[in-house]
Structure 1
Amino acid sequence: MNLIEVKNATLRYGKKTALNEVSITVPQGRVVGLLGHNGAGKTSLMKALVGLLPVQGEMTVLGLNPAGDRQKLLEQLSYIPDVAVLPRWARVSELITLMSRLQPKFSAERARALLKRTSVSESDKIKSLSKGMVAQTHLALIAAIDAKLMILDEPTLGLDVVSRKSFYEMLIDEWCDGERSVLISTHQVEEVEALLSDVIMLDEGRVALAISLEDIDRRFVALNHDPAAADAMAAAHPLLRYREQGRTTSLFDGAPPEHVASLGQRVRPSLVDLFMALTRNPALNSKQA
């Protein structure tokens, strides 16, 4: 069962194309990373999925049209946008009460149980909490909604490494159960790689790659080799060549020629390696122009 189905979705802001014929699916029980440079279309896609932006093409989330059935949709999913804030004047207990009145599938008991995993007290005011504590409070409130899908747009932006680790631990331990799915955009690729089951990479509004992590190992081949093999590797046209542990690694989409494969040792390509190979950094491109 696919919780998200998008086919040929296009979104334009005037002359700028934010999404260019994007087609993706997110099955149930998956943790999907949405990766892309700034301006690649990640936030536009997530806003479209929750009905905040209309798109051309086909889009269904939990079997609903996000733009046409937005109120019904928001009762059935959890969403933290990239500019998520909690009212600084409120106490945590007041936010639990507010959520109970606004969201029919919210469980105050569940929220309190999740908060016990943190150092946040119900009597605390938001303005007295650190950024990391606010993020954990927000996740506890959102994860207390009985939903099948959670959409998170850069939820740990600006947090230190300890706070990010605590956030992701709560997410995986307390919300992911094999039936629910998470779509999460982030720049901390190395930190979330171990959590993900699938990845979607956007490049200038297009899907550069949509694949499970299992299939990455089957499809892509990275060969670690000595400098003497550099010319032969280059002649085989790898996607990317980079230095790792004092040696050069060449990354191929599919199996390289046999005579080339014998010149190196196969290693597992990381998401960062693939991301660098398959997407372009607009900031770097503008400097080179």
Structure 2
Amino acid sequence: MSDNINISSTEPGAPLIRAEGVNLRYGKKTVLDNLSFTIPKGRVVGLLGHNGAGKTTLMKAMVGLANHAGHLDVLGLDPRKQRTELLQSLCYIPDVAILPRWARVHELITLMSGMHPKFSADRSRELLRRTSVGLNDKVKQLSRGMVVQLHLALIAAVDARIMILDEPTLGLDVLSRKAFYELLINEWCDGERTVLISTHQVEEVEALLSDVMMLNDGKLVLNISLDQLDQRYSALSHAPAAANAVAAAHPLLRYGSPNGASTAIFDGAMPSEVEALGQRVRPSLVDLFVALTRAPELNPRASR
């Protein structure tokens, strides 16, 4: 059980989220394994990992729904001991978020107005005008994509500093996912507030992210800004004939492409003799995800 870290979230430069040696076990299974990281203000952080990697558990710990060992401080508060205070400045949409099907949209706005002191009904209605959801619509009459947009409009109308989203677009078609992320980025992110998004649609969110965290079997195998990611990792596209020579340089991952070429990803600068065997390309976040979560032991620096 952790003690609250008495660091004010309003202190200049203080991170909004701070974890130090966070561990969580369910019986004999370690779900979160010694996680340490900080998340500052004004960031859009992608939390990536396979099913069972610990993403949902970590998010639940951040909002006080999962007991853990080690220190975890969100907005300067202990999520378990000060959860009521924390939820006044934090929004959370879990992966199984449900709105009452019998309710009309305007009734949900009224309900939120009475429940949350920092909720703005006017702001919620303004956000809904950017969607196809009507104030008199019943939840049960809405498509899944419209329900997700409604949920975001309700949550984004809370004057919070952190939004935590666990697979918010799961099961939606590509147009609904695009509409959701446009609403989120354009209407909520302002350079001061921070969003933490767990998702499997890595390709779709890469352009939205400022930072990425990757979990594998409860371990943090990557925690880096996308700017630093481009500086740290390199990739080489090469002909099949050079495969053995490239493999001898021990890349993190090698894979083929439909045009017959192969690509290798390296942690750090690749040897000059290897670079001469092909063309340097930018590694995608998807490829790095595969490399670091399929065989993290190949990259002992991954969690730094």
How many Å apart are 1:262 and its aligned residue? 1.5
1:132: which partner in 2?
A: 145
How many Å apart are 1:197 and its aligned residue? 0.5
2:78: which partner in 1?
A: 65
How many Å apart are 1:246 and its aligned residue? 2.8
Q: Secondary structure at the match of 1:249?
A: strand
AA partner of residue 71 (structure 2): E
2:32: which partner in 1?
A: 19
For residue 263 of structure 1, the aligned residue among 277, 284, 302 is 277
How many Å apart are 1:226 and its aligned residue? 1.2
- 2:85 maps to 1:102: no
Q: Secondary structure at the match of 1:58?
A: strand
1:184: which partner in 2?
A: 197
Deviations 1:139-186 (A, max 9, x none): 000000001100000000111111000000000000001111100000
State the distance in 2 between where 1:227 and 1:44 align. Answer: 42
How many Å apart are 1:44 and its aligned residue? 0.2
2:263: which partner in 1?
A: 249
State the distance in 2 between where 1:24 and 1:210 align. Answer: 8
How many Å apart are 1:120 and its aligned residue? 0.5
Larger mean Cα displacement after TM superposition, 109-118 or 251-260: 251-260
2:233: which partner in 1?
A: 220
Aligned length: 281
Deviating runs (4+, > 6 A) in structure 1?
Answer: none
Q: Secondary structure at the match of 2:242?
A: helix
Deviations 1:45-88 (A, max 9, x none): 00000000111001000111101100000111111011100000
How many Å apart are 1:24 and its aligned residue? 1.8
2:3: which partner in 1?
A: none
1:171: which partner in 2?
A: 184
State the distance in 2 between where 1:56 and 1:219 align. Answer: 32
How many Å apart are 1:269 and its aligned residue? 0.5
For residue 54 of structure 1, the aligned residue among 49, 67, 88 is 67
2:292: which partner in 1?
A: 278
- TM-score where L is the length of structure 2: 0.91
Q: How does 1:192-207 map to 2 (within 5 A)?
A: 192-207=205-220
1:84: which partner in 2?
A: 97
State the distance in 2 between where 1:236 and 1:280 align. Answer: 19
Say if 2:165 and 2:198, in contact at 8 Å, map to a contact too. yes
- TM-score where L is the length of structure 1: 0.96
How many Å apart are 1:280 and its aligned residue? 2.8
Sequence identity percentage:
68
State the distance in 2 between where 1:172 and 1:33 align. Answer: 13
2:17: which partner in 1?
A: 4
State the distance in 1 between where 2:280 and 2:224 align. Answer: 20
Structure 1 gaps of 5+ residues are: 282-289
Say if 2:162 and 2:195, in contact at 8 Å, map to a contact too. yes
2:134: which partner in 1?
A: 121
Structure 2 gaps of 5+ residues are: 1-13, 296-304
2:298: which partner in 1?
A: none
AA partner of residue 266 (structure 2): F
Say if 2:239 and 2:260, in contact at 8 Å, map to a contact too. no
